[in-house]
Amino acid sequence: MLRSFARTALALVTLAALLPLAGPAAPPAYAAPGDNSIRLNGTNQNVQMPYSTGANFSGSITIEAWIRRDSASRCETIVGNGYQDSYRLGFCADGSSDPARLHFYRGDGAYARGTTPIPAGVWTHVAVAYDGVAPRFYVNGRPDPASRTTSGPLRPAPSGSNRPLGIGADPSPSAPTGWADHFQGLIDEVRIWSTLRTQEEIAAGMFQQVTFNAPGLAAAFGFNGTLENVRGSPHGSWVGAPSYSREGAIPHDFRIPPFAADPTLDGVCDTAGEYATATRISAHGADIWLLHTPNNLWVCFPEIINGAAVYLDADLSRASLAGPDDLVFELFSTASPFARALAGDGLGGYAPATLPDGSWGAMFKRRVAGPDPQGIEFRIGKDLLGSGGVIGLALATYATAGGQPQLWPALAEPGAPASWSAATLGGSAEPQTYNGFVLYSPRDRSASGIPVPGVGVRLVGYDPGGAEAVVGFARSDHEGRFSITSTDDYSRHRLDLDIATLPRGYIARSPSIGASTTYSNNFSLEDAQPVVTDPLNGPYFLIIAPRLIIDSGVLRNFVTFKQQLGFQVEVISVETIDATVSGANRRDKIRNLELARLATYGERFQYVLLIGPHSVIPMTIF
């Protein structure tokens, strides 16, 4: 009886120790379509990441981010680790230059300065790479020569400071709020690397989403409606009220979903009906909705007052200058509305185009009173779209009729199809099912993996051109198993873990993923903290059990496991306590032992594990 009880009790204890219970299953924490950046007010908002050795290192560093400033005359921070004694990337006037140029601090207040002014109101990719010798600035993937330089070691935050890293503000003990030089505007895709990234690597990755296992990645934040650190813990948290924006520099390429029936061309974007399944793009304060039917591509701009345009590279030529096959469809809803189609002239400009009757159409609706909708809607016939299934696309709004267009995506230029987005005309395919397991890999590599329930797994569809989307989601069950079925027609797929759903203290070690259903799609998790080689200085863990259980050896693996996690473990029998500890009864003796250990170990005394039935260990509050 006692041996059977010992095995049962140990099993329960071991599961509790190895598998922290996940919370109740909740819907996937996906951002609303277009939630792609954070918006900061420049006074009391920023994101902080708790102190981490992963973001505090010497040697080389690369910092990169997409930003859209509200003002080019502010002293403000993009990423700050404390400019007076560590690193910071941002802007600030220094007496010899205006605050539109990049500044990089490496520590001790020493800094370098870029040359290119960073404008307001425009998405700009900025980066600095530093190796202790000379900083290298990059703006939109191109070198930005330093107008002032610095050299010397990169300095991490002072040891023991426990100071968080700031995104959108720099930690400053002297500031009233503890933060200084707040950023005003939008920030997207912040990445910190512990390596020196080349210009080619920075330019190639600007429009790509980074993965957690990218070599040298120390921290990365996509800001897609969460403050999840793509690299894993620690994640970010808000200082001030949370504020996200639909606008963002990423995604750059996207997929347009299919729809069976054509909407009515009336200038109304009915997002609860005709456009309910459409893709939403946000640009310059406007939402834009897109879908395609068997006969047409539809693009709808709600709440547009002056004008809108669709730029089309039908054969995805990605030419550097717009040619005759590159078209622009414009509609201006001014006092004298007009619509027109233009074709490239081979020099990056446009001239009026003659297109077949009925091949396209545009309509606007102007608000006349109250909540009546207004908008501009385009219909572009499939005969104009080519046959490749992927088109080049840019979308524009006009502040004034005939003025300069405000283009999406980021860095798009009207006369350069190479700078436009790749839009895939999506469809459906035969169902595909992806199965696998999420398993905990013990530090004892000879031990079998242990199922981890409640972990979110995303099925991501993507195309070689870069367009991608989450097309399926599942949570691992009590056996660690997951299964995802999708009918999308993306040419490739991958499985990603939803890092926010990982049990605390775990990281993904080696996800095994594949593009076919025959591959073993297993994810292995391991402990986030490294093996501690000096458990005598780690947290103190007291285990109290009957001598029969201790002598049976069933606790041996558990004790070894806790010691590998860095715990100092003491195992003591109730019989020894009865014989050596004073007290009126066993309950008092156990309590007195705990008090004695607390006096000895102080804050290191964190856990007590009691094993035994009520007849052996009184189950009362000590």
| Residue 25 in this model has a pLDDT that exceeds 60 | no
Phi, psi (deg, nearest 5) at residue 531: -65, 130
Q: Distance between CA atoms of 561 and 23, rounded to whole angstroms?
A: 25
| Residue 537 in this model has a pLDDT that exceeds 80 | no
Of 432, 435, 433, the residue nearest 522 (C-alpha): 435
Of 5, 146, 13, the residue nearest 561 (C-alpha): 13
* Domain coordinates in residue numbering, the chain: 37-245, 254-425, 428-527, 532-610
pLDDT at 370: 55
Q: Distance between CA atoms of 506 and 466, rounded to whole angstroms?
A: 30
pLDDT at 211: 75
Strand partners, 171: 179
- Where b means 16+ CB within 10 Å and e means fewer, 437-463 reads bbbbbbeeeeeeeebbbbbbbbbbbbb
Tokens of residue 148, six digits: 């002032």
Say which DSSP state 416 is in.
Answer: B
Tokens of residue 621, six digits: 């509050």
Identify the CATH class of 254-425: mainly beta
Tokens of residue 280, six digits: 């939403």
Instruction: Please give the residue that has the higher pLDDT: either 28 or 250.
Output: 250
**369 pLDDT tier (thresholds 50, 70, 90):** low
Q: Which fold has domain 532-610?
A: Rossmann fold (3.40.50)
pLDDT at 429: 81
Q: Distance between CA atoms of 105 and 114, rounded to whole angstroms?
A: 12
**387 pLDDT tier (thresholds 50, 70, 90):** confident
Strand partners, 313: 326, 392
Task: Tell me if the domain spanning 37-245 has CATH number 3.40.50.1970.
Answer: no
pLDDT in tens, 160-213: 788 999 999 999 877 778 899 999 999 999 999 999 999 999 999 999 888 777
**2 pLDDT tier (thresholds 50, 70, 90):** very low
pLDDT in tens, 75-123: 999 999 999 999 999 998 766 567 889 999 998 888 999 999 999 999 9
Phi, psi (deg, nearest 5) at residue 583: 160, 160
Average pLDDT of the residues in 27-36: 42
Beta strands 605-610; 540-545: pairing state: parallel
Amino acid at 591: R
pLDDT at 497: 81
Q: What percent of the chain has pLDDT over 70?
A: 85
pLDDT at 156: 92
* Answer CATH for 428-527 from 3.40.109.10, 3.40.50.720, 1.10.3720.10, 2.60.40.10: 2.60.40.10
User: What is the chain's mean pLDDT, rounded?
Assistant: 84
470 HSE (CA, 13 A, CB side): 17
| Residue 614 in this model has a pLDDT that exceeds 90 | no
pLDDT at 204: 93
Instruction: Please give the residue that has the higher pLDDT: either 5 or 318.
Output: 318
Name 328's Cβ contacts closer than 8 Å, sequence gap at least 6. 309, 310, 311, 312, 341, 342, 343, 350, 414
| Residue 8 in this model has a pLDDT that exceeds 80 | no
| Residue 3 in this model has a pLDDT that exceeds 70 | no
pLDDT at 126: 98
Query: CA–CA distance from 589 to each of 343, 504, 622 (Å)?
Result: 90, 34, 10
| Residue 618 in this model has a pLDDT that exceeds 90 | no
pLDDT in tens, 477-499: 999 899 998 887 777 788 878 77
| Residue 532 in this model has a pLDDT that exceeds 70 | no
384 HSE (CA, 13 A, CB side): 31
Same fold yes or no, 254-425 and 532-610: no
Question: Of the given ranges (19-33, 409-423, 594-608), which has the lowest mean pLDDT?
Answer: 19-33
